[in-house]
Amino acid sequence: MLDHIMIKVKDWKRAKAYYETTLKHLDYELFWDSDNAGGFQGSDAPHGRIYIRQDENPGRIHFAIAAPSADAVKAYYAAALANGGTDNGAPGHRAHYGPEGVGTFVIDLDNNNIEVVSH
């Protein structure tokens, strides 16, 4: 079970607005906010937390967030693109996720590859 991940971004305030808008579709809410960092958690808190911290030189990461449904995957994708994310794989069936698996990939504002999947 994933405990948490840390994403480094160039601008916390900009990233906060992006992630608040996109992660709400996956049942994540902001639970901690400071001048240059913050954290989001879902209903299974404290596991699966996403921490975001401002850093002068963020490095690209890839991670996957579990979605409660295929509709949530699609809603996340639409919100991500509407808020400055870049398509890296539109929502659709992914056979390697299983017979009902749906996933999407979006590049966030700091060039991180965010995957969202519903099994």
Alpha-carbon torsion, ordered 48, 53, 55, 58, to 10 deg: 20
The pLDDT tens digits of the residues spanning 7-28 come to: 999 999 999 999 999 999 999 9
pTM of the model: 0.87
Please give the average per-residue pLDDT across 16-42, as a whole number.
95
Q: Domain 4-118 is of which CATH architecture? A: Roll (3.10)
pLDDT at 1: 54
Domain boundaries, the chain: 4-118
Average pLDDT, the chain: 93
Cα distance between residue 107 and residue 118, in whole Å? 18
pLDDT at 83: 98
The pLDDT tens digits of the residues spanning 81-114 come to: 999 999 999 999 998 888 999 999 999 999 999 9
